Structure 1
């Protein structure tokens, strides 16, 4: 195909063929995607395409992209160079390189060795990522040639030689050797960057070094190369420390587990263990895989997963997570998830995905850098040519200034300013039991002004208990028996409280039928031919039953913070059951810390009556509440807060509160370690089933925003200062390199402060 109209011709021609459902031809990529009613049609496609004057062959892609670790990238443009180089290979279907995480995701039909060689051609090293090498169980890496050190020694020898009687050609030879040794890798990277039509730092730096040598400034050229190599080395070390925030999670799980078999116990690699096998976990050992306890009682330190500071008691029937530590008793655990599907594995996957998602600020800066670099590059060329042609100074003088401007042209510090801060913040959060799904949500969390909390299970324990039973007709046991019969088919926390109360007193349920839930109001069932109801008192008001004779008692109990379940028929109310939930111990301190972190308004959303809501609001310390809400009313409450001009976060369990979580500017789910839905749907997930980590998340997000702004302004001011100093001749070539690599290093170190935030 030689133009886009060829693609249109093919699309139209193939779309008319019987059995072909859809055709999409991408001219730029030289790819065609065909959907057909049966697989037999695909065999005839190449022959049919040939009739139009083109050649086609079926493409066989890998099921999912392979992942490689890339070493040697020092800024985002390096990632672009690798993408462009590999993207031009016909055996590569897709490639995505992320500088922040140092990972490459590639779909291809090549061997692993071929991929590594192709990456090396771009000037970088690649290593396939497997579970084993992620856990740092590889053989020790071969030590690289000390390029920076040797280049620096040669530069120093040349510099010292210039003050002695050593011939000038020897001094020049030292400088030239320093340039060749220190500049070989950047030169190779620059070659492939130019070949891929990418204007990165390597191209600019190599151009400056060669230009300096051409005009006889060998010392300047050697200094440029050495400072660049030194700066890259320091940057790479710093960046690796931010990437280690995730590698530390990977290393949490042991590589082997003791398995119980018919012939005794044996050790197996975790990758070889199947579901339903039995693991033996001794005191002090880490849990190798997710599972369910079938024997033994112990306390587990779940901090690596949930961030909880205290061990959690576990007994048979409880779930345990890979990477957590068995504190005391010996356990037998039935495996419920394979190594690649464990909670910790999914956390790592989600965190890495999050770190690779660009935040709005980062996306804007990348667009800005794409325009800035070529503009300054052209400006540098004009500086070299226009002033001397106009008679202002010598060619050598302006050529030198143009070279300095070339160095300043690369916005490395600016491009690095956002992604390194985001990687550091997301890594810190993950280690503390909080999943932030990407830079976008990190930025949103930093801008939140109001937080809306679902009451039940979020602010409270979510396990209400029966506090009082008032029988108006029969005895209280009969009332509880009827209520238990109706509520047995419900999973609502209040229903569970009634059932638990009945079970504790050995009160059995009656024979019932036609069980029906009445959304947001209660439930009904037929017992001995009579229809009974259990629900809010207003349910009976709506059926025309007067509650005037017990209104005083209802008001009194509700004002004490009880939720009431009225039990009766279509004709009368038989009695009342009072249920109360308890506020979590951690809730009050968490809300106080959120206020200290700068959240201006705390709001409670509940389906409870006004009295209960008011009492709970006072106990928890929230500023405002919305009571007697139906599930859909929570969405309306969130919208009301948004209409007041506030950025609103909604905190819930990630399942029942899904509509409100989706409506809010930021959805925060609690208890992610126990629910897959929460981990997949919310923007931020608190892995523990409490609010303890929410204040840290808000503080971390705000600190990240502050650091990103600091980085951006520092990068811009440094560039402007360098640009201003070039034209009067104050900025030398080596100073330009130092300003660029130094600024990038300072930005990285500033971002790394987020890793240490407690």
Structure 2
């Protein structure tokens, strides 16, 4: 058996679940095809085949059903497994560390990109009237057909009023205007393996209505069917546009710096390593790292973060975000096809192709439901006349109405429409979920295990206290910063950042040198200076009991303390700690208020972890190796809990894989987007609770949709058999329910109240 090849297509014109089902069935029957994933909401199809498949024949098969096909990218090896609750990159485990410090990913690796290829040239074959709903509805082929059918129906009423003797023929002609394209689609679907399509049921009902001399109703029903399809297309287009609109955030052009000259170039041509100039007020045209400049960056378009983030040299910026008050020079770190927004769109589209357990159940149910409805309709049409002497015309009419009522479109779309809307809404808030299964599982989570460094904390130390032991706090920072200038050590960077924030002028240090495990020495303004550990400082000068006590108290709070000696006198001390994120406490409170058990799992030392844990009010398990974190996740699961593990996507790979849902924290990095089941782009602890709440909202919406779909059908089934309603209310029960279900699902796109 050859290797599995994956090919992705853009399929235009899908607007309901039956579209996807017909394409899935047709392509799955093609030689060499191993698996097919079709997403209505993203308008994509992924085909996995053994390499022997005739791709041209596959494209023609889909085109034969009336959909236009655009190939995306080249062939690629299929993933070893589909997205799901445990879909992780197992290779990430080898990168695990026993500590919790956030790791910067390597951006030099290559990705398989998707680029539009030429269409197959078979759009519109066989008269299929599906078309993209990106423009005004009346300009689409479907819109024009609906208008034409409506005009024909009005004309038939006029002719029937003026010349009653040919009214029947006028209505039959009006019916054929809309029915011929529908019937063609029905035949093609039947030949492709889907005999019980909505088009086939519609065709049988319309032709049957003409046979029993109900041509007027047949024409009206065909028109209403087209109206319903048009509304479905508009609603599906809105759902699809909600995530695709992200791509419009990236500007089309960029200011490229080369050899000291700045020129405007298309943003899509920017290469990794290029330098671009971003003026105040401009949207950033590529993912990159700030080379020079400092500005407030509005990341709301990408992450939903309402407050601009202050960023300077070395910080990461993302395509589509807005530069604030100062010019920036940015080094490009990702090509246009692989920037954060492009990856978000691609991940959401792929996630929409993976089905949740509820969706898979509904699909299986519909396979038996539709043939069952056809059988019931046949029995209703035949048994009363045969067994009870009922009128054939009356009961055939009722049977035809039941055919239309029984179409499963609304039921089948009830789950994927809600899931697609939730995935899109989450992506716009910086919450990425890799598929319906992940989204569904999140709502069941009742235990969350969180990493410390980079998850509950910022991931980098900050100066928390400056102690004065003879010199002022400003002088202590001045001398300390002078010795640390040029160092890339995290503690040194924290001191330099605090000095910069306080506006301190840093003098030059001479003869600076590091003393292994002790600290650093040098000469500042002609005076010898030492800055290092309390133990090493105690070897140089004596510390009083009070000074020792104050330093010990800071150590007990999980802080690292460095002592400053100027000349031969103790001058002061600086305490630093990786501080909790601003929203950590409120985010954890949101989880506990929702009844979720929370625990911190960290490889950091127990004293530091305990200090952070007490401040945040969370249970702490410290000094853990990666396998220990995995073991604890397993222990929670054996207690009957559904566990989410939140980490940076590298250190906690084994625990992320073991959890029911792995959630990576990060600022749009490759790791955050690709390692775990879900990712939080802007690193807010509160977004974990937001993810769980989004899942619960989605499952409630799905329950509402199923109730609407089955409830309307049940009502109209009873009223049809009772003789209260006929064919045109029956088609409303189908298309109306589908539209209602889609509109209800679109409510999930709105921000939560």
Q: Same fold (TM over 0.5)?
A: yes
Counterpart of 1:222 in structure 2 is: 219
The Cα shift of 1:328 comes to 2.0
Q: Could you say if the C-alpha distance between residues 227 and 118 of structure 1 is closer, same or farther in structure 2, counting changes exceeding 3 Å?
A: same
Give the secondary-structure state (helix, strand or coil) at the position aligned to 1:310: coil
Aligned match of 1:524: none
Structure 2 SS opposite 1:509: strand
The alignment status of 1:694 with 2:676, answered yes or no, reads no
Q: Does 1:371 align with 2:365?
A: no
Does the CA contact (< 8 Å) of 1:451 and 1:599 recur in 2? no
Identify if the C-alpha distance between structure 1 residues 443 and 336 changes in structure 2 by more than 3 Å, giving closer, same or farther.
same
CA shift for structure 1 position 469: 12
Q: How does 1:508-657 map to 2 (within 5 A)?
A: 508-510=513-515, 557=553, 560-562=556-558, 580-596=577-593, 598-607=594-603, 613=609, 615-622=611-618, 624-657=619-652
**Cross-structure match for 2:414:** 417
Task: Tell me which residue corresponds to 1:82.
Answer: 23
CA contact (8 A) 1:462 1:493 kept: no
SS of corresponding position for 2:443:
helix
- Whether contact under 8 Å (2:554, 2:561) holds in the other structure is no
Residues 311/578 of structure 1: CA separation in 2 closer, same or farther (3 Å cut): closer
Q: Deviations over 1:543-584 (max 9, x none)?
A: xxxxxx9xx979974895226799xxxxxxxxx998644222
CA distance in 1, matches of 2:135, 2:596: 53
- Whole-Å separation in 2 of the counterparts to 1:172 and 1:395: 20
- Structure 1 residue runs without a partner (length 5+): 1-23, 25-32, 36-60, 471-490, 513-533, 535-548, 567-575
Aligned to 1:429: 426
Q: Does 1:455 align with 2:452?
A: yes
In the alignment, structure 1 residue 65 sits paired with structure 2 residue 20: no
Q: State how far apart, in whole Å, the 2-side matches of 1:193 and 1:431 are.
A: 36
- Structure-2 residue corresponding to 1:719: 713
- Give the CA deviation at 1:179: 1.2
Of residues 243, 247, 260 in structure 2, which corresponds to 1:246? 243
Q: CA deviation at 1:612?
A: 5.2
Q: Compared with structure 1, are the counterparts of its residues 754 and 309 closer, same or farther at alpha carbon in structure 2 (3 Å cutoff)?
A: same
Render the CA deviation track for 1:426-481: whole Å, top value 9, x for unaligned: 101111111111111111111222222222222222334587999xxxxxxxxxxx
Residue 449 of structure 2 contacts residue 644 of structure 2 at CA under 8 Å; is this kept in 1? yes
- Aligned: 1:122 with 2:65: yes
- Structure 1 residues 719, 258: closer, same or farther in 2, change over 3 A? same
Check 1:227–1:304 CA distance in 2 against 1; reply closer, same or farther (3 A cut): same
| Equivalence for 1:150 | 148
Q: 1:648 to 1:64 in 2, by over 3 A?
A: closer
Task: Give the one of 283, 287, 297 matched to 1:286.
Answer: 283
- Matched-pair contact (CA < 8 Å) for 1:301–1:324: yes
> Structure 1-normalised TM-score?
0.74
In the TM superposition, residue 662 of structure 1 has moved relative to its aligned partner by 1.8
Mapped to 2, the partners of 1:289 and 1:617 lie a distance apart of 38
Distance 1:346 1:223, change over 3 A: same
Task: Report which stretch shifted further, 138-147 or 307-316.
Answer: 138-147
- CA drift of 1:651 comes to 1.4
- Kept after mapping to 2: 8 A contact 1:303/1:324: yes
Partner residue, 1:342: 339
**Over aligned residues, Cα RMSD in angstroms?**
4.1
Alignment of 1:20-99 (within 5 A): 24=1, 33=2, 65-71=7-13, 73-85=14-26, 96-99=37-40
Q: Is the 8 A contact 1:448 1:599 kept in 2?
A: no
Q: Deviations over 1:132-166 (max 9, x none)?
A: 899x9x9999653622223223334444665x453
* 594 and 91 in structure 1: CA distance in 2 versus 1, 3 angstrom threshold: closer
Contact map agreement 1:123 1:185 (CA 8 A) in 2: no
In the alignment, structure 1 residue 659 sits paired with structure 2 residue 654? yes
Aligned to 2:85: none
The question of whether the paired residues in 2 share the 8 Å contact of 1:307 and 1:693 is answered with: no
Q: 1:109 to 1:240 in 2, by over 3 A?
A: farther
Compute the displacement of 1:202 (Å): 0.9
The correspondence for 1:752, drawn from 746, 749, 752, is: 746
Distance in 2 (CA, whole Å) between partners of 1:495 and 1:276 is 28
Query: Secondary structure at 1:585's aligned position in 2?
Result: coil
Cα deviation, 1:307-327, whole Å, max 9, x if unaligned, reads 322222232333322112112
Matches of 1:555 and 1:265, distance apart in 2: 53
Provide the C-alpha distance between the structure 2 equivalents of 1:276 and 1:586, rounded to a whole number of angstroms: 35
Q: Is the partner of 2:21 in helix, strand or coil?
A: helix
Is the partner of 2:633 in helix, strand or coil? helix
Partner residue in 1 for 2:255: 258
What are the within-5 Å matches in structure 2 for residues 101-120 of structure 1? Answer: 101-105=42-46, 119-120=62-63
Q: Do the aligned residues in 2 keep the contact of 1:626 with 1:637 (CA within 8 Å)?
A: no
**Aligned in 2, Cα 1:140/1:253: closer, same or farther, shift over 3 Å?**
farther
- The Cα shift of 1:349 comes to 1.0
Residue 177 (structure 2) aligned to one of 181, 201, 213? 181
- Whether the 8 Å CA contact 1:672–1:679 is kept in 2: the answer is no
Q: Structure 1 residues 629, 117: closer, same or farther in 2, change over 3 A? A: closer
Matched, 1:387 2:407: no
- Tell me the distance in 2 between the aligned counterparts of 1:386 and 1:728: 15
Query: How far apart are the structure 2 equivalents of 1:341 and 1:251?
Result: 15
Task: After TM superposition, give the deviation of residue 494 of structure 1 in Å.
Answer: 8.5
- CA distance, structure 2, for counterparts of residue 153 and residue 329 of structure 1: 59
Give distance in 1, aligned partners of 2:387 and 2:657. Answer: 63
User: Which of the numbers 176, 190, 195 marks the counterpart of 1:194?
Assistant: 190
CA distance in 1, matches of 2:494, 2:53: 60
Cα displacement (A) at 1:124: 3.3
User: 2:706 & 2:239 partners in 1: Cα distance?
Assistant: 19
- Could you say which structure has the greater relative contact order, defined with CA pairs below 8 angstroms and 6 or more residues apart? 2
Q: Is the 8 A contact 1:700 1:757 kept in 2?
A: no
Measure how far apart 1:347 and its partner are: 1.4
Alignment of 1:666-677 (within 5 A): 666-673=661-668, 675-677=669-671
Deviations 1:393-444 (A, max 9, x none): 1222222122112112211111000001011001011111111111111111
Return the alpha-carbon distance in structure 1 between the equivalents of residues 631 and 226 of structure 2: 57
Counterpart Cα distance in 2 of 1:585 and 1:139: 44
Return the alpha-carbon distance in structure 2 between the equivalents of residues 629 and 113 of structure 1.
54
- State how far apart, in whole Å, the 1-side matches of 2:54 and 2:630 are: 52
**Structure 2 gap ranges (5+):** 73-113, 119-131, 468-487, 499-505, 518-532, 534-544, 563-572
Preserved contact between residue 208 and residue 407 of structure 1 (Cα < 8 Å): yes
8 Å Cα contact 1:468/1:579 also seen in 2:
yes
1:303 CA drift (Å) = 2.4
Report how far residue 213 of structure 1 moved: 0.9
TM-score normalised to structure 2 length: 0.74
Displacement of 1:746 after TM fit? 0.8
Q: For the residues of structure 2 that align with 1:671 and 1:387, how far apart are their CA atoms?
A: 66
1:131 Cα deviation from its structure 2 partner: 6.3
- Whether 1:321 aligns to 2:315 is no
Measured in 2, the distance between the counterparts of 1:260 and 1:139 equals 37
1:509, CA displacement in angstroms? 2.8
